[in-house]
Chains A and B, each alone.
Chain A
């Protein structure tokens, strides 16, 4: 019995150790990003163009703008497709198409982002023989779709069936019940799904390398290559210049800030929703 108790205590100890082992790198990463990044996070960094090699100063202003444009484009592509698909999955749960789409969304969610990048290159770069912001937006949009589909579906499923029954009993068609009763009830949740998806793609680099490519200047044109924060951080990180390394850390700080903001916002909404449904 003593041996069994000891084994049990050891196993419990290992589980506690595991949690600590996972939190150590998290702490280290956040610590280093803030330590190296905050001092370099100046007003110039946020607003200026990058300077040529050797000249100190300059910033990632154009890359921050570029990332915002790319993320906006991605949302524009993914949000309508994702939400309408999510509605279908929730409303026609058992249907053959819904099952196939649900499965495909899970599969798509697991496809490496670099592969999505190749696909976007083939359909949005090759035909025009030019890297473009649009191609980058397509790549990120494809990555967002499965996340929005699945969260929309799950959150619509949470809406009590009595609401739908009530609407149908009043003579509403299914479409009317969904758009006037069920969807509004689930809207905050769907917003969360969008935020979760944004948090996921805001830090993506790989699919942008050969779609949006990079740009040293201010650019808002969708048919031209565009800078992004992540690609810029990558370029600077693997360069041999100390000043660029500092700026890479500052870029990483901005990235972590953005991802954290999206995550915390989505958590806040989820909390409120849970309280609503439990009440």
Chain B
């Protein structure tokens, strides 16, 4: 019997290798960032070890560097942003996937995308001149008995963790909302149809769909968290830039990204520079980890559909 070999005429793999060499740049960049940042923070890593992350003194003049207030401020402000933004972002995702009249959908998608397109520096400018005064007047309205709680301690400055959390939550909403909407769209129609067939209300059917896509929705929320952790300019402009960890929402604090933005070009000696790069390195590691997890969660929902 005649067998036909599938032939690839004049195919010598040059095309694959050529384009592959360029595509390899992308993973090499990620690896390069890890290597270069580690190399350039080696002085700080050697000198302070893990204590770098638990000590609170940040004194460039004395050469003492402890980054606890920055990691605290980053985690606290991002967590606050997540708490404020997640319900709203999911509400938007549900509205756009299940509830919106057809004519409204495209314009609303465009407007939420616009929210993501506004540059961070413009958010910051608006934060300084519009949001911070509003936050300050809200803070002055807080009654004295409430002020005794650690959460609301301190003078009403306007700048501080609350302002940062608010502005971050607005900035994160479009990212979480758009991924969550994709996830809800990817849920097979049979899930909602089945729920309706059993007599479910509209909300109960949507809840079924959300439960089905829960991993993807987790991924969407984590993607938003990744954005919040690394956000720089807007936060720098409203958080008050004070390296003192505090529970208070009203207290001016500091974040990892903000201290790099403020002090990097002024870092006079090598140890100071290396300490700042180490903060960048950890920011890199945290965001890569969070993005990896969220991608895996989102991909899994996508592939189940296929």
A residues contacting B by CB (< 8 A) are 4-5, 7-8, 10-12, 14-19, 21-23, 25-26, 28-29, 32-33, 36, 80-81, 84-85, 87-89, 91-92, 95, 97-98, 100-101, 103-119, 121-123, 126, 131, 142, 145-146, 149, 171, 173-175, 178, 199-200, 202-206, 209-210, 213, 230, 233-234, 237-238, 245, 248-249, 252, 255-256, 259-260, 263, 267
Among B90, B129, B174, B290, the one with the most A-chain Cβ atoms within 10 Å of its Cβ is: B129
The answer to whether B130 and A28 touch across the interface, beta carbons within 8 angstroms, is yes
Tell me how far the C-beta of A208 lies from the nearest C-beta in chain B, rounded to whole angstroms.
10
A171 to B9, CA, bound (A): 8
- Give the 9 A-B CB pairs with smallest separation, nearest first: A203-B119, A112-B230, A18-B91, A110-B291, A8-B203, A8-B201, A88-B19, A175-B15, A104-B27
The answer to whether B36 and A255 touch across the interface, beta carbons within 8 angstroms, is no
The answer to whether A87 and B24 touch across the interface, beta carbons within 8 angstroms, is no
Tell me how far the C-beta of A120 lies from the nearest C-beta in chain B, rounded to whole angstroms.
10
| A260 touching B37 in the complex, CB below 8 Å, given contacts A15-B91, A88-B23, A209-B261 | no
| A97 touching B122 in the complex, CB below 8 Å, given contacts A5-B201, A25-B170 | no
CB contacts (< 8 Å) of B142 on chain A: these are none
Q: A103-B27, A203-B121 are in contact. List 19 more A-B contacts (CB 8 A).
A: A5-B201, A19-B92, A22-B112, A81-B22, A84-B22, A84-B23, A87-B19, A88-B22, A92-B19, A111-B230, A114-B260, A115-B33, A119-B32, A175-B15, A203-B122, A204-B119, A230-B121, A234-B124, A237-B121
Interface residues of B in 26-56 (CB under 8 A from A): 26-27, 29-30, 32-33, 36-37, 39-40
Query: Could you say which of A28, A80, A81, A91 contacts B126, with CB atoms under 8 Å apart?
Result: A28
The answer to whether B26 and A209 touch across the interface, beta carbons within 8 angstroms, is no
The answer to whether A107 and B91 touch across the interface, beta carbons within 8 angstroms, is no
CB contacts (< 8 Å) of A108 on chain B: these are 26, 29-30
| A32 touching B111 in the complex, CB below 8 Å, given contacts A81-B22, A122-B36 | no
A27 to B16, CA, bound (A): 49
A33 to B92, CA, bound (A): 25
A110 to B290, CA, bound (A): 9
The answer to whether A205 and B119 touch across the interface, beta carbons within 8 angstroms, is yes
Q: B128 contacts the other chain (Cβ, under 8 Å)?
A: yes
What are 14 contact pairs spanning A and B, CB under 8 A? A17-B91, A18-B92, A19-B96, A32-B130, A36-B129, A89-B23, A91-B16, A101-B26, A103-B27, A111-B288, A114-B260, A123-B36, A205-B120, A238-B237
Query: Could you say which of B112, B229, B232 contacts A206, with CB atoms under 8 Å apart?
Result: B232
The answer to whether A111 and B20 touch across the interface, beta carbons within 8 angstroms, is no
Q: B223 contacts the other chain (Cβ, under 8 Å)?
A: yes
The answer to whether A263 and B113 touch across the interface, beta carbons within 8 angstroms, is yes
In the complex formed, the residue of B with least CB distance to A196 is: B117
| A97 touching B129 in the complex, CB below 8 Å, given contacts A108-B30, A252-B121 | no
Q: B99 contacts the other chain (Cβ, under 8 Å)?
A: yes
The answer to whether A118 and B277 touch across the interface, beta carbons within 8 angstroms, is yes
CB contacts (< 8 Å) of A113 on chain B: these are 230, 232
A42 to B40, CA, bound (A): 44
Tell me how far the C-beta of B283 lies from the nearest C-beta in chain A, rounded to whole angstroms.
6
Query: Could you say which of A91, A103, A126 contacts B295, with CB atoms under 8 Å apart?
Result: A103
The answer to whether A22 and B287 touch across the interface, beta carbons within 8 angstroms, is no
Query: Could you say which of A116, A206, A259 contacts B233, with CB atoms under 8 Å apart?
Result: A206
A202 to B173, CA, bound (A): 21
The answer to whether A115 and B87 touch across the interface, beta carbons within 8 angstroms, is no
Query: Could you say which of B26, B114, B174, B257 contacts A104, with CB atoms under 8 Å apart?
Result: B26
CB contacts (< 8 Å) of A91 on chain B: these are 15-16, 19
Tell me how far the C-beta of A31 lies from the nearest C-beta in chain B, rounded to whole angstroms.
10
CB contacts (< 8 Å) of B277 on chain A: these are 118, 122
The answer to whether B88 and A21 touch across the interface, beta carbons within 8 angstroms, is yes
The answer to whether B25 and A85 touch across the interface, beta carbons within 8 angstroms, is yes
In the complex formed, the residue of A with least CB distance to B122 is: A252
Q: B212 contacts the other chain (Cβ, under 8 Å)?
A: no
Q: B115 contacts the other chain (Cβ, under 8 Å)?
A: yes
| A259 touching B126 in the complex, CB below 8 Å, given contacts A8-B202, A21-B88, A88-B20 | no
The answer to whether B202 and A149 touch across the interface, beta carbons within 8 angstroms, is no
Tell me how far the C-beta of B90 lies from the nearest C-beta in chain A, rounded to whole angstroms.
8
A115 to B29, CA, bound (A): 12
The answer to whether A33 and B122 touch across the interface, beta carbons within 8 angstroms, is yes
The answer to whether A18 and B25 touch across the interface, beta carbons within 8 angstroms, is no
CB contacts (< 8 Å) of A245 on chain B: these are 129
Tell me how far the C-beta of A140 lies from the nearest C-beta in chain B, rounded to whole angstroms.
13
A199 to B117, CA, bound (A): 7
The answer to whether B119 and A202 touch across the interface, beta carbons within 8 angstroms, is yes
Among B40, B91, B115, B122, the one with the most A-chain Cβ atoms within 10 Å of its Cβ is: B122
The answer to whether A107 and B170 touch across the interface, beta carbons within 8 angstroms, is no
A11 to B200, CA, bound (A): 14
A28 to B96, CA, bound (A): 22
In the complex formed, the residue of B with least CB distance to A248 is: B125
In the complex formed, the residue of B with least CB distance to A238 is: B237
In the complex formed, the residue of A with least CB distance to B116 is: A200
Q: B193 contacts the other chain (Cβ, under 8 Å)?
A: no
In the complex formed, the residue of B with least CB distance to A18 is: B91
| A149 touching B121 in the complex, CB below 8 Å, given contacts A4-B201, A11-B206, A29-B126 | no
